[in-house]
Amino acid sequence: MSVRDIVIQQLVNGLILGSFYTLVALGYSMVYGIIKLLNFAHGDIYMVGAFVGFSFLSLLSGTLGDEWGGILAAMVLAMVAVGFLGVLIQRIAYRPLLAAPRLSILITAVGVSLVLSNGAMVATSGEYKAFNTGLGYEGFDLGHIHVTFTQLVMMAATVVLMMVLHLFISRTLYGKAMRAISIDMDACRLMGIDVNRVIALTFFIGSALAAAAGVMAGVYYGSIHFFMGFVIGLKAFTAAVIGGIGSIPGAMLGGLTLGLLESFGTQLPGIGTQWKDVFSFGLLILLLIFKPTGILGRTEIERM
C-alpha cells in the first residue's frame, strides 16, 4: 500500500472518528457554556442513545426495513427520546443545584453517569448487542482504498447536524438567548428571559446530538455495549477542551483534530493502535500547559 493510500484511508477513518467525538463534544461545550457544568454523564447519554436507536430500529425493521430508511427513522426517534431524557436529568439532578457550589453539581453528574451505565448493564446483562443493519459495503475505490457509502453518509450527516446547530445558535431567538445566558445569567433573568426553559433546551439539543452519534457508532461498528460511553466521554471532553470548552466551533474543531490525530498518529513507525490514547491525552496535557483556554477558547473575566 502506497503512502497516498495510507493517507486517504487514515483521513477517512479520522474524519469518521472525529465526527463521533464532535457530536458528543458539542453537548459538553453547550452545557458548560450555559451553566459551567462539566456534564460527565454525557458519554453515557451517547451510550443510551445507541441502545434506544437499536430498539427503535428493531421495531421499525419490519415496516421501514433495516437500511437507510429504518436507520434514519430510528435515529430521529432516538434523538427525540434521549433529548427528553436529557431534559429530565437536568430537571431532577441539576436544576435544584444551580445555586450550589460547583463541586456539588459535578459530583451529581458523576452519580448520574453511574446510574445510566449501571442501569444499562442490568438491562442488557452486560452483554454486547449486535447492531445489525442491511447496509452492505458498496462504495467506490480510491487507488487501493475502498470508501463505502456508509462512511460518506455518516460524515455528511455530521456536517448537516453541525450546520443546523450553527444556524440555530446564530440565527434564532433561542440561540441568542443561549449566548446571552452564557455571558450573564442574572441579567437575562432581569430582562425577562425564561432561563430554565433555555437551559432545558440546551440539554435537549446536546443529548439529541449525543444520541445521533451513538446510533451512527452502532451502525458503523456493528455492536453496542453498556460501557461504550466511558471512553468516548473522556475523548469528547478532551476534544471540547482542545477546541476551547464553551465554544461551539471549538468543539467541532477539537473533535475533528482529535480524530485525525489518533488515526495518523498510529501510523508512525513503531507505533500501534494501543498508543492512540497517549496521543489524545498527551495533546490535552500540552495544551493545558501552553494554552489552557484551548484553540478557540477565550479567557473569562470573573465579575466581583
CA distance linking residue 184 with residue 207, whole number of Å: 24
Q: Which three cell numbers stand for residue 242?
A: 482542545
CA distance linking residue 179 with residue 177, whole number of Å: 5
Q: How many CB atoms lie within 10 A of CB 84?
A: 15
Residue 131 CB-half CA count within 13 A: 26
CA distance linking residue 235 with residue 229, whole number of Å: 10
For the chain, the maximum distance between any two Cα atoms, rounded to a whole number of angstroms, is: 63
Q: How confident is the model at residue 187 (pLDDT cuts 50, 70, 90)?
A: very high
- The DSSP call for residue 295 is S
Q: What is the DSSP string of 261-280?
A: HHHHHTTSTT--GGGHHHHH
Strand blocks (E) in 132-279: 139-142, 145-148, 223-224
CA distance linking residue 281 with residue 290, whole number of Å: 14
Average pLDDT over the chain, rounded to an integer = 89
Least confident of 117-121, 163-167, 198-202, 281-285: 281-285
Proportion of the chain above pLDDT 90, given as a percent: 53
What integer pLDDT is reported at residue 25 of this predicted model? 93
What integer pLDDT is reported at residue 68 of this predicted model? 87
Is residue 196 predicted with pLDDT exceeding 50?
yes
Mean pLDDT value across residues 217-224 = 93
Mean pLDDT value across residues 220-243 = 91
The pTM score is 0.91
Buried/exposed 240-266: b ≥16 CB within 10 Å, e otherwise: bbbbbbbbbebbbbbbbbbbbbbbbbb
Range among 56-65, 138-147, 214-223, 262-271 rated most confident: 214-223
Cα distances from 85 to residues 5, 36, 201, 246, 287, in angstroms, run 43, 20, 12, 22, 33
pLDDT of 40-60, one tens digit each? Answer: 899 999 999 999 999 999 999
CA distance linking residue 46 with residue 210, whole number of Å: 5
CA distance linking residue 35 with residue 24, whole number of Å: 17
What integer pLDDT is reported at residue 303 of this predicted model? 46
What integer pLDDT is reported at residue 61 of this predicted model? 84
Range among 22-26, 282-286, 288-292 rated most confident: 22-26
Mean pLDDT value across residues 284-300 = 80
Q: Under a CB-based contact definition with an 8 Å cutoff, are residues 254 and 241 in contact?
A: yes
pLDDT of 148-185, one tens digit each? Answer: 888 899 999 999 999 999 999 999 999 999 999 988 89
Contacts of 130 (CB under 8 A, 6+ apart): 222, 223
What integer pLDDT is reported at residue 304 of this predicted model? 39
CA distance linking residue 211 with residue 53, whole number of Å: 8
Residue with more model confidence, 103 or 112: 112
CA distance linking residue 150 with residue 197, whole number of Å: 37
Q: What is the DSSP string of 247-262?
A: -HHHHHHHHHHHHHHH
What integer pLDDT is reported at residue 107 of this predicted model? 92
pLDDT of 110-162, one tens digit each? Answer: 999 999 999 999 999 989 999 988 887 888 877 778 888 888 999 999 999 99
CA distance linking residue 186 with residue 14, whole number of Å: 41
Q: Which three cell numbers stand for residue 232?
A: 468516548
Q: How many CB atoms lie within 10 A of CB 206?
A: 28
**Bridge partners, 145 (sequence order):** 142
Contacts of 17 (CB under 8 A, 6+ apart): 258, 259, 262, 263
So where are the chain's domains?
A: 23-228
